[in-house]
Amino acid sequence: MRSKTRERLIITTIAVVLAVLLIAGGIYSVRFVQYMRVVNSIELVMLDMSMMPDGTFAGHVDAVLLAFGVEVTVEGGQITAIDVIRHRAAICETSEREKAEMREVADVVIYNQTLHVMPPFGANYRTLVFLYTIQTALMDLNVVEK
């Protein structure tokens, strides 16, 4: 009788673990599809920086599995600074490598004065969402009070 009770306990435990994994996988799959819809809808436009007013502007984008917040400073019709104020990945903490990559992208944007850049490490969805966040700051012109 003991072995049957133990066997039932093991089977029940395995069934519960599998059910939890299936539910978690389903939730992640739905969120991934939503994320891809957001990413696929992103369109980077050519901005005429010479027409931009001076100031520091905030931009925020939440792409379901990834979110950024930036402050973009414009002086004399040129981007002079891009500060990442928020970087969230849904699955895990943002790594130092990812933070460094976004800093590199910001530096390339500042150097070239355009969002149409190829980062040194190559393009990926994170880069696209980050560039779109910068574009959002420049198009919405939400002034940051300092």
CATH topology of domain 49-143: Sufe protein. Chain: A (3.90.1010)
- 65 within 8 A of 90, measured Cβ to Cβ: yes
Query: What is the CB-side half-sphere exposure of residue 119 using CA atoms within 13 A?
Result: 19
pLDDT of residue 99: 81
Give the model confidence (pLDDT) of 117-140 as tens digits.
Answer: 887 776 688 899 999 999 999 998
- 67 within 8 A of 88, measured Cβ to Cβ: yes
The pLDDT-based confidence of 90 (bands split at 50, 70, 90) is: low
pLDDT of residue 79: 96
Query: What is the CB-side half-sphere exposure of residue 73 using CA atoms within 13 A?
Result: 10
- Tell me how far apart the alpha carbons of residues 109 and 37 are, in angstroms, rounded to a whole number: 25
- Mean predicted lDDT score pLDDT of the chain: 87
At position 20, the amino acid (one-letter code) is V
- Tell me how far apart the alpha carbons of residues 98 and 90 are, in angstroms, rounded to a whole number: 14
Gyration radius from the chain CA atoms: 22
pLDDT of residue 84: 92
pLDDT of residue 144: 83
